[in-house]
Amino acid sequence: MSSWHTASAEELARQEQRSGMRTIRKVLPYLWNDDEPWVKRRVVLALVALMFSKLIAVGVPMIYKAAVDSLAGEGVSPMLLGAVGLTVAYGMARLMTVGFQQLRDAIFARVGQRALRSLALETFEHIHRLSMRYHITRKTGGLSRIIERGVKGVDFLLRFMLFSIGPLVLELLLVAVILFWLFDAWYLAAVALTIALYIWFTFKVTEWRVRLRREMNDQDTDANQKAIDSLLNFETVKYFGAEAREAKRYDESMEGYESAALKTSYSLAFLNFGQSFLITSGLVAVMVMAAMGVQAGELTVGDFVMVNAYMVQITIPLNFLGTVYREIRQSLVDMGEMFDLLEQPSEVSDKPGAPDLKVDGGAIRFDKVSFGYDSARPILHGVSLDVPAGHNVAIVGASGSGKSTIARLLFRFYDVSGGGIAIDGQDLRDVTQVSLHDAIGVVPQDTVLFNDTIRYNIAYGRDTASEADVVAAAKAARIHDFILSLPEGYDTMVGERGLKLSGGEKQRVGIARTLLKNPPILLLDEATSALDTQTEGEIKEALARAGQGRTVITIAHRLSTIAEADRIIVLDKGEIVEEGTHEALLAERGRYAAMWTRQAAAEDELDGAEGAA
């Protein structure tokens, strides 16, 4: 059992190391890129400023020693500056140290921000390229946190890799050489032992803290996912009076986060005390040696002060070593998750050199199409279907029969498992997805709106649309008068996912958006399902006008909406069981006729109940 845990820990460590090296390899081009010479220039200038800062910093204690010796009447004052002059020089040196550090940060800032922006954009674009299957299985809250933490880690990693670890090593070496040169090997040995113990202790404890931090991140992500999931389903929570249940669920996640955060805080206290103990021990040891040298007359009071100044000087960067090391490790972990995301393959991708789709009439052909979201549970079984250009073909069937799957395959959210789909003779897998998406306008069953104005949501159909175009589309969708009745008109905010609008209003905004897009092919997926009977009649007219000269595929549950279709396809368990016109299918007295009879009876019963009321 123990050996298994050890093996697992070792394998985890190796995986982290490989992930860390991969992350560093991916980040380095942002520091040294042949395509952008200005990046190299800024990095070199930042390093020059850093070198000046460190060299001046190492000289500061020597000026301090000279000033103390001058005041004590020991030794000869350098450059005959006197105690006051040396004190002013000491102040100027300290100011120049800070000045060069800030100059370094100012020069490098553009490099870091450019890397942050580039990676954020690359990640955002890649997420939109990932398949529908990936987005269905991932939680939006967790995904947003991965991106947020990963992007924030970019600037930190670049800055601290370049300006913390390297400069710290340089400063420690310079101080060690000076102590050896000016004093003797015992000072060097004491400082070297202190630094070695300090680094060993810091890295060991920090490794432990990284694991605790990862656990805390996991708990944070889980709590964030639950909070976002609950807020996105605000109405459902209200319907079932589940506020207390959701609060308890969220609090349980936060309890796990609290426990992990406390462990992180306790470990930080242990790390800080241990670091302080080691540094203080080293400082006292060196100061004792210096004090004995002063008593013996071998050293001046200035030497004693200088040794103290050097020890304090190396203490400051060492105090940050644990934090810097932990943050670099954490940045590597966070960015590793982001690069894992970037390496997720795009399930649906364009072939190299794929041409754009050219739509002449919009004829659609499904040729023996087979598909399943899970290979063990196929949805469509060899479906063959022809939709002539300019025709309106409706697809009906029970839930789970594969109606919406056909719509998703036509839009190429997924690739078919068998057979093929073509538009005007062009296989969808052979053309670019952008041109395919431009050719198809979709009105889904549940229209989701951006948390912006009504104008923005309608204009989303075509980003070059004028105000007149937006108004014309709203009129065609029979929503213009409603918009004008609102206090802010087209500038009315619709709320997150359009929650401030009713289902019918959202649907009509979605229809207006698609009408504005003006595509040659229309895909109506239960487009009138959220509308009342009167509004449905108005929208049917608008959609009928919109469909003139276009190829239309209508997926419907309510059969009254598709009675006038050129052809009706009846699906059952992924197979076409009937097809024909409305009248022909009723005459067959088959499955469609039975569905029509059931729905007509239900509507008559509903109308009778409303009349009685």
One DSSP character per residue, 441-496 reads: EEE-SS----SSBHHHHHHTT-TT--HHHHHHHHHHTT-HHHHHHSTTGGG-B--G
Region 477-497: mean pLDDT is 85
Region 239-257: mean pLDDT is 85
Q: pLDDT confidence of 408, banded at 50, 70, 90? A: confident
The SS3 of residue 235 is helix
Residues 386, 254: one domain? Answer: no
Please say whether the beta carbons of 317 and 171 come within 8 A.
Answer: yes
Region 417-437: mean pLDDT is 91
Residues 418, 483: one domain? Answer: yes
Region 286-292: mean pLDDT is 88
Q: pLDDT confidence of 365, banded at 50, 70, 90? A: very high
Percent of the chain with pLDDT over 90: 10
Residue 245 belongs to some domain of the structure:
yes
Q: How far is CA 558 from the centre of its chain?
A: 39
Residues 231, 285: one domain? Answer: yes
- Distance in angstroms between the alpha carbons of the first and the last residue of the chain: 72
Residue 128 belongs to some domain of the structure:
yes
Please say whether the beta carbons of 27 and 158 come within 8 A.
Answer: yes
Give pLDDT, residue 5: 43
Residues 209, 312: one domain? Answer: yes
Region 426-448: mean pLDDT is 87
Give pLDDT, residue 64: 79
Q: How far apart are CA 455 and CA 460, in angstroms?
A: 8
Query: DSSP letters along 338-356, please?
Result: HHHHHTS--SS-PPTTPPP
At which residue do the structure tokens 């942002």 appear? Answer: 30
Average pLDDT score over the chain: 80
DSSP label at 320? Answer: T
Q: pLDDT confidence of 6, banded at 50, 70, 90? A: very low
Q: What angle do CA 73, 74, 79 make, to 5 degrees?
A: 90
Give pLDDT, residue 393: 92
Please say whether the beta carbons of 437 and 411 come within 8 A.
Answer: yes
Give pLDDT, residue 255: 87
Please say whether the beta carbons of 489 and 408 come within 8 A.
Answer: no
Q: pLDDT confidence of 370, banded at 50, 70, 90? A: very high
365 pairs with which residues across the strands?
386, 422
Residue 76 belongs to some domain of the structure:
no
Residues 583, 489: one domain? Answer: yes
Handedness of CA 28, 30, 32, 34 (dihedral sign): positive
Residue 193 belongs to some domain of the structure:
yes
Give pLDDT, residue 15: 55
The tally of CA atoms less than 13 A away on the side-chain side of residue 305 is 16
Question: Which of 310, 342, 374 represents a domain boundary (last residue)?
Answer: 342
Residue 400 Rama label (left phi>0; alpha psi -120 to 50; beta): left
Residue 40 belongs to some domain of the structure:
no
Interval 24-65: pLDDT, tens = 777 777 677 777 788 888 888 988 888 888 888 888 888 878
Please say whether the beta carbons of 423 and 521 come within 8 A.
Answer: yes
**C-alpha closest to that of 491 among 456, 527, 536, 461:** 456
Residues contacting 318, CB < 8 A, separation 6+: 168, 195, 198, 275, 279
Q: How far apart are CA 160 and CA 331, in angstroms?
A: 10
- Residue 16 predicted with pLDDT over 60: no
Residues 187, 264: one domain? Answer: yes
Question: Which of 342, 377, 404 represents a domain boundary (last residue)?
Answer: 342
Residue 47 belongs to some domain of the structure:
no
315 vs 305, residue with greater confidence: 305
Region 380-397: mean pLDDT is 90
Q: What angle do CA 365, 421, 559 make, to 5 degrees?
A: 60
The SS3 of residue 334 is helix
Enter the tokens of residue 576. 């076409």
Q: How far is CA 257 from the centre of its chain?
A: 21
Q: pLDDT confidence of 347, banded at 50, 70, 90? A: confident
Region 492-517: mean pLDDT is 81
At which residue do the structure tokens 């040794």 appear? Answer: 307
553 vs 377, residue with greater confidence: 553
Residues 286, 428: one domain? Answer: no
Q: pLDDT confidence of 142, banded at 50, 70, 90? A: low
Q: What is the CATH number of the domain that holds 581?
A: 3.40.50.300
The SS3 of residue 402 is coil
Number of H helices, E strands in the chain: 20, 10
- Residue 8 predicted with pLDDT over 60: no
How many domains is the chain built from? 2
Question: Does this model's pTM top 0.85?
Answer: no
Q: pLDDT confidence of 569, banded at 50, 70, 90? A: very high
Q: pLDDT confidence of 568, banded at 50, 70, 90? A: very high
Q: What is the CATH number of the domain that holds 284?
A: 1.20.1560.10
Interval 98-139: pLDDT, tens = 898 889 888 888 887 887 778 778 777 777 777 566 655 555
Q: Which domain holds residue 520?
A: 364-612
- Residue 235 predicted with pLDDT over 70: yes
The SS3 of residue 608 is helix
Residues 166, 243: one domain? Answer: yes
Residue 55 belongs to some domain of the structure:
no
Q: How far is CA 40 from the centre of its chain?
A: 28
Residues 446, 588: one domain? Answer: yes
Number of Cβ within 10 Å of residue 382's Cβ equals 15
Residues 152, 232: one domain? Answer: yes
Residues 248, 380: one domain? Answer: no
Residues 395, 305: one domain? Answer: no
**Quick one: the chain helix, strand, coil %, rounded to 5?**
70, 10, 20
Residue 356 belongs to some domain of the structure:
no
Region 487-514: mean pLDDT is 81
Q: pLDDT confidence of 76, banded at 50, 70, 90? A: low
